[in-house]
Amino acid sequence: MATTVPTTAGELLFQNYLDAMDYPYEFEKEFPGKSKRPDYTVTKNGVFLFDVKDFDPYMQNRN
């Protein structure tokens, strides 16, 4: 079940960016016939779908 509000640090940061840039967006919008929802659907000069990933910039490289 999808949440209606961002839950991760990355989602919150990305949403703050979208708000600062005044980009219209929807969080976890449903698309007919699809079981998964993108984190953000941005509608500015087209429709853009984003799946936000979090990472730890201090994590050691795993090469």
**What pTM did the predictor assign?**
0.78
CA dihedral 21, 27, 8, 59 (to 10 degrees): -70
Contact 23, 47 (CB under 8 A): no
Predicted pLDDT of residue 2: 45
Strands (E), 1-63: 25-27, 40-43, 47-50
Contact 18, 6 (CB under 8 A): no
pLDDT in tens, 41-62: 999 999 999 999 988 777 776 6
Q: What Å distances lie between residue 2 and 5, 36, 37, CA to CA?
A: 9, 9, 8
